[in-house]
Structures are given as structure tokens and as C-alpha cells.
Amino acid sequence: MTEANKSLNFLEHLIEEDLANGYSKSELRFRFPPEPNGYLHIGHAASICLNFGLGETYNAPVNLRFDDTNPEKEEQEYVDAIKKDIQWLGFKWDKECYSSDYFQQLYDWAILLIEKGLAYVDPQSSEEMAKQKGTPTKAGINSPYRDRPIAENLALFAQMKNGELEEGSCVLRAKIDMASNNMLMRDPIVYRILKKAHHRTANDWNIYPMYDWAHGESDYIEKISHSLCTLEFKPHRELYDWFLDQIYSEGMRPKQREFARRNLSYTIMSKRKLLRLVEDGIVSGWDDPRMPTISGLRRRGYSPAAIRKFSDLAGISKRDNVTDVALLEFCAREDLNKTTNRVMAVLDPLKVVITNYPEGEEEWLDAENNPENETAGSRKVPFGREIYIEKEDFREEANRKYFRLKLGKEVRLKNGYIIQADSCEKDGEGNITQVNCTYDPLSKSGSNTPESLRKVKGTLHWVSAKHAIETEVRVYDRLFLDEAPDAHAEKDFMEFINPKSLETVKALVEPSLKDAKKGEQFQFQRLGYFCVDTDSSPNHPIFNKTVGLRDNWAKKNK
Ligand code: ATP
Ligand code: MG
């Protein structure tokens, strides 16, 4: 698709409309507003790609705004991780902003609210306030403190700020409408007392603004034109606008608009729940390759291009929906197919002895690195009398549809010769321990002899026994066994953890992989895509399986 005929999503239509109605392009400004209370996940990537994508489309600045109004859960570690992930995805923010930078301004505006008679200090317990709130079909009742004199409210609010009042002893509430159809408009809390050190403002503040008060006002301070958030904030829009009405004086008046969250099958997407997986040791950390976090996907071997492609294909929608994780895997595969070199590794080795190959001899065969990319060149792989193949690639007997190795039949060894299985050896329990084969010395791949051009149905990957290096390979399965682990009313998502989501395998790989660097990616032929894990040490690569060559999840679980 070219840029010109690419269809616009509904938010782009909205922006086009605004432009047609008098906004100038130079006024457009967006923001991505993460709360630094966890690592970014693939759902955040949707919002990042949306906001920064709009920035690219309209050549407009995009701020990175840390929505840091809750010191209980926020940490510098998360700020750093979030910045790293956005940069890694390939996006550049204009300004790095923090809601906490606006604490003074927000406080001053709260005083303005009080002075206008639009906010009051309420000392009731949260239970009492909840009782007065009413229900969606029944109006609430006014707090007995609602008409407290302005001067008293100002004095109490100053005491709240100065730390003279206990946590939980009172809150500042906006005076709106206890009979509103929108429950959020029934005198919402604007400030609460929290005597917690903040990761940036330390102990400067004893009160912290609520999300609704902080968000729209921060958008206004930053001159954001379109404040895009997920659907659950739709009912908050009325309050967003009401708060802006009270303080707006001039310039860009931000608009909140909503889009559907990205949900992905077989995983969860809430930072709070992901934190539980980390704290309970279900995973090794936020960047465990099974996590749906950006850092987990990176460690797993997903590229920024694959994640951006996924966000693009999954699109932005108006209604809640679940995206099949198979689409994400498809994007990884498409990308890795083009970019990775092919190598040979055997995850479940079975020894093969080529009885007519001279003992003590070896040769180095030409192997193409990537048939999808001519410039990728070739390498040499060693071959000798003893090799390993996958256990599942040999059977004593099998039907005609089995194109791998079986007694009396031939297969081609990738980059090598045609071999035929003559006999096999077994241990006391009947397990096959070795296959004895003969090879056709004239059948070498690429040698152009009539023997080498002979059609043989199966081709197997293999490694030379003498040269192979033993490495650890981590093979992952879905972290959850259920398609929507957190959508069950009576069951906790933890009940659906897949106990076999990680299998650690001692594998044999071709010697060219000895010097593979952390993060380097390969296609292990016939097995899938793998990357070198960050736990690797020099000369001892550890591989993560990124994704298989085909989608066999659906098949396997029929
Ligand atoms: P979580 O519940 O995972 O903590 P959150 O919405 O509280 O998510 P924030 O850090 O507040 O996380 O989110 C930053 C931005 O990313 C917000 O604009 C939010 O709407 C958006 N976002 C968060 N999760 C998703 C998602 N699953 N799909 C699309 N956008 C998302
Ligand atoms: Mg949030």
C-alpha cells in the first residue's frame, strides 16, 4: 500500500476533519502518557505506534509524558525501561515531560477551583462518600461539607498540602453534580493526602492529584491537540472537559478521544498482573521471553519492525476485540525469514554412523546462508563419519508418507550427501541409540553430478559429531493455557499458567555458532527462529526460540 491510498483510521478521519475546520497542521501535537509503574507491553505498543505514527503522518511533535501522580507504585527503573523500549521501537519523542513537573501549577489551579466555589475539602471516610454516591439510576446526595465556606476550604487545603493532616483524613473534591447521569461527575476527588516520597519530587508534596485532574490539565500545559486514550476513559471525557472549562484561558484546547485497547489471545496485558508474575517468580523478570512486554519480546527475538508491522496489521478500532497472537507470530516469522542466516542445530540428537565414510576423515561443505538474500553469502559446515540428526527424523518402519529416514530408504542431508539407512542399534529398553547408514559419495549437493541431481523426497538437518558444540536452547510455549486468562469471573488468571511454558534443551549446534553474539538471530533449519539470549557468555551461547517456522499451535491443540 502506498501512503496515498492507505485508508485512514477513524482517528485520522477526526484529525482531517479538524484540519478542514480550521486547525492548522502546525498546531497538531500528540503525547504518549505511560504511568511508570511497570514495563511497557504489546498493548502499549499499539498506543505508541498510534501516537508516534500520527506524529510521523502529520509531521507533528509527540511528547513522552510520564503520568507520575501515584508515588506508591512508580519508580525510576520503570522510567528508564519505558524510554529504552520506545527508542528501541524506533520512535523519537519531542519533549520528555512529567506530570510531576506540573504539581505546582495543578495545585494553583486547584486553589482557583476552590476560589470559584467549585471544590471543597471533605473529611468523610471513603465508605461514607461511597454511600452518598447513589447508583447509575439513583441520584446521590450531597456531602454535608459541600457548602463549607471558601476561606475554610482554602485553609484546610493548605493544611493538606503542608502535611498537617493525616493520610486518609480528607480529600479535595470538585463540586459538580451529585445527580449527574455520569457517576464520575458526582463530586470526584481532585486531591488526596499521600505522605510518600515521589521518585522525582521526593518529599516536596503531601498531596497528589488524581488522574482526571492531572491528565487533561497536563495536556493543556503541553498544548496537546488530540489526547488519545483507551475506551475505558470514555466516561471520563465529560470530566476531562469540565476540568478544562474551569481553567482554560487561551490557545489549543485539547480533545480527548478514545480507541479500543489492544488485547492479545493467550496472555494478559495489565501491568499490575504482569508484576504479579514477576513477584511470584512465575517468570524470571519483566523481560522474560515469555512475557508480552516489549522487553520480553525483544529478548525473545522480535524485531522493532515485526512489532510495528503487527500494530499496523492489527489496526486501531473503536470496539473492544482480541487479536490472535498468531498474527504477532506471523509478523515475526515474515521478518526473520528475510533477515536471518540459516544454520543447523539438533535439539534431540540421535547418532548416525556413515559406515562407508573413511574413518578419521572430514570435509567442509558449502552452505548458503540465506536463500532469501543473495548478499548473505555462504559458510562452510564440517561433515564426517559420525553425525547427529533429530530423533524424530528416523523410524525403523513408516508408511509412504514419511519422507524422513527409515530403514532401506534414502534422504538428503542438507548441504551434503544422500544417505541410506541400513540398520539401527538399541539399548536394553528398546530405544534406538544409533543408525548405521551408507552415503553416496557422488551425490554431494551442488556438485551437478547426475547422482547429486537425483530426486530424494526428504532433506534432513544434521551436525557433525566431532565438531558440534553443546549449547542450551530455551524452547517456549504460551505462558497461559487459556485464550483469555483474565476474562474469567470466578477464576484468577494465575490458574491458567502453562506449567510447561519453558523447556530447556541441551542441543548440538554447528561450530559456526560458537561466536554468536547476544541478540544475534538465526533460522535453525527445519526448526524455527532462534536468538542468542542475554544470559549467554563468550563462547557459550544460549539460544531462545523466537517462533517456529509454521503455526502449529492450532494443529497441536485440535
Ligand atoms: P495497564 O493496565 O497495563 O497498567 P494502563 O492503561 O494503566 O495499562 P498506562 O501506562 O497508563 O497503562 O498507559 C499508557 C498509555 O497506553 C495510555 O494512553 C493507555 O491508554 C495506553 N494503553 C495501555 N494499555 C493499552 C492497550 N492494551 N492497548 C492500547 N493502548 C494501551
Ligand atoms: Mg494507567
Residues 128 and 195 in one domain: yes
Query: Within 10 Å of residue 46's Cβ, how many Cβ atoms?
Result: 27
| Dihedral angle, C-alpha 18, 23, 29, 35, nearest 10 ° | -50
Residues 418 and 284 in one domain: no
* CA within 13 Å, CB half, 205: 25
Q: How confident is the model at residue 37 (pLDDT cuts 50, 70, 90)?
A: very high
Residue 165 identity: L
Q: How confident is the model at residue 538 (pLDDT cuts 50, 70, 90)?
A: confident
For residue 534, report the distance from its CA to the centre of ligand 1, in Å.
27
Residues 84 and 205 in one domain: yes
Q: In the numeric block, which cell numbers belong to residue 78? A: 520503570
Residues 147 and 292 in one domain: no
Lowest-confidence pick of 113-117, 377-381, 448-452, 518-522: 448-452
Q: How confident is the model at residue 43 (pLDDT cuts 50, 70, 90)?
A: very high
pLDDT digits (tens, 9 = 90+) for 262-273: 999 999 999 999
> Is residue 5 in some structural domain?
no
Q: How confident is the model at residue 2 (pLDDT cuts 50, 70, 90)?
A: very low
Residue 46 in contact with ligand 1 by CB distance below 6 A = yes
> Is residue 374 in some structural domain?
yes
Q: How confident is the model at residue 1 (pLDDT cuts 50, 70, 90)?
A: very low
> Is residue 176 in some structural domain?
yes
Which of these three, 442, 461, 480, is where a domain ends? 461
pLDDT the model gives residue 91: 98
> Is residue 85 in some structural domain?
yes
For residue 244, report the distance from its CA to the centre of ligand 2, in Å.
20
For residue 27, report the distance from its CA to the centre of ligand 2, in Å.
26
DSSP state for residue 540 in the 8-state scheme = B
Q: Which of 271, 300, 474, 478 is catalytic?
A: 271
Q: How confident is the model at residue 554 (pLDDT cuts 50, 70, 90)?
A: low
pLDDT digits (tens, 9 = 90+) for 80-89: 999 999 999 9
Domain CATH code at residue 175: 3.40.50.620
Q: Which residue is associated with the grid cell 459541600?
A: 146
CA gap 413, 548 in Å, rounded: 21
CA gap 508, 326 in Å, rounded: 29
User: Which residues contact residue 380 at a Cβ distance below 8 angstroms, ignoring those fewer than 6 apart?
Assistant: 364, 365, 366, 367
pLDDT digits (tens, 9 = 90+) for 399-409: 989 999 999 99
Phi and psi at residue 513, to the nearest 5°: -85, 0
Residues 309 and 387 in one domain: no
Residues 167 and 253 in one domain: yes
Residues 451 and 480 in one domain: no
Protein residue with least CA distance to atom 23, ligand 1: 44
Residues 120 and 242 in one domain: yes
Q: How many domains does the chain have?
A: 3
Domain CATH code at residue 282: 2.40.240.10
Residue 36 has pLDDT above 70, yes or no: yes
CA gap 154, 143 in Å, rounded: 18
Residues 444 and 479 in one domain: no
User: Which residues contact residue 352 at a Cβ distance below 8 angstroms, ignoring those fewer than 6 apart?
Assistant: 386, 387, 388, 389, 394, 419, 434, 435, 436, 437, 462
As a whole number, the mean pLDDT across the chain is 95
Which of these three, 218, 235, 259, is where a domain ends? 259
- Residue 35 appears among annotated catalytic residues: yes
Residues 183 and 241 in one domain: yes
pLDDT digits (tens, 9 = 90+) for 123-144: 999 999 999 999 999 999 999 9
pLDDT the model gives residue 148: 98
Q: In the numeric block, which cell numbers belong to residue 217? A: 490539565
Edge-to-edge strand ranges of the sheet holding 502-509: 341-343, 521-524, 528-532, 542-547, 469-476, 502-509, 345-346
Three-state DSSP at 132 gives: helix
Q: 527 or 554: whose pLDDT is higher?
A: 527
Q: 538 or 557: whose pLDDT is higher?
A: 538
> Is residue 104 in some structural domain?
yes
For residue 476, report the distance from its CA to the centre of ligand 2, in Å.
29
pLDDT digits (tens, 9 = 90+) for 336-381: 999 999 999 999 999 999 999 999 999 999 999 999 888 999 999 9
Phi and psi at residue 98, to the nearest 5°: -135, 130
Residue 271 in contact with ligand 1 by CB distance below 6 A = yes
Site to substitute for ligand 1 among 40, 44, 50, 237, most atoms within 8 A of C-beta: 44
> Is residue 2 in some structural domain?
no
Protein residue with least CA distance to atom 3, ligand 1: 270
pLDDT digits (tens, 9 = 90+) for 470-489: 999 999 999 999 999 999 99
pLDDT the model gives residue 54: 97
Share of the chain above pLDDT 90, in %: 94
pTM: 0.94
Which of these three, 430, 461, 492, is where a domain ends? 461
Residues 355 and 456 in one domain: yes
Q: Residue 284: which domain range?
A: 271-341+471-556
> Is residue 388 in some structural domain?
yes
pLDDT the model gives residue 551: 76
How buried is 26 (Cβ within 10 angstroms: 0-12 exposed, 13-18 middle, 19+ buried)?
A: exposed
> Is residue 333 in some structural domain?
yes
Q: How confident is the model at residue 5 (pLDDT cuts 50, 70, 90)?
A: very low
Residues 527 and 399 in one domain: no
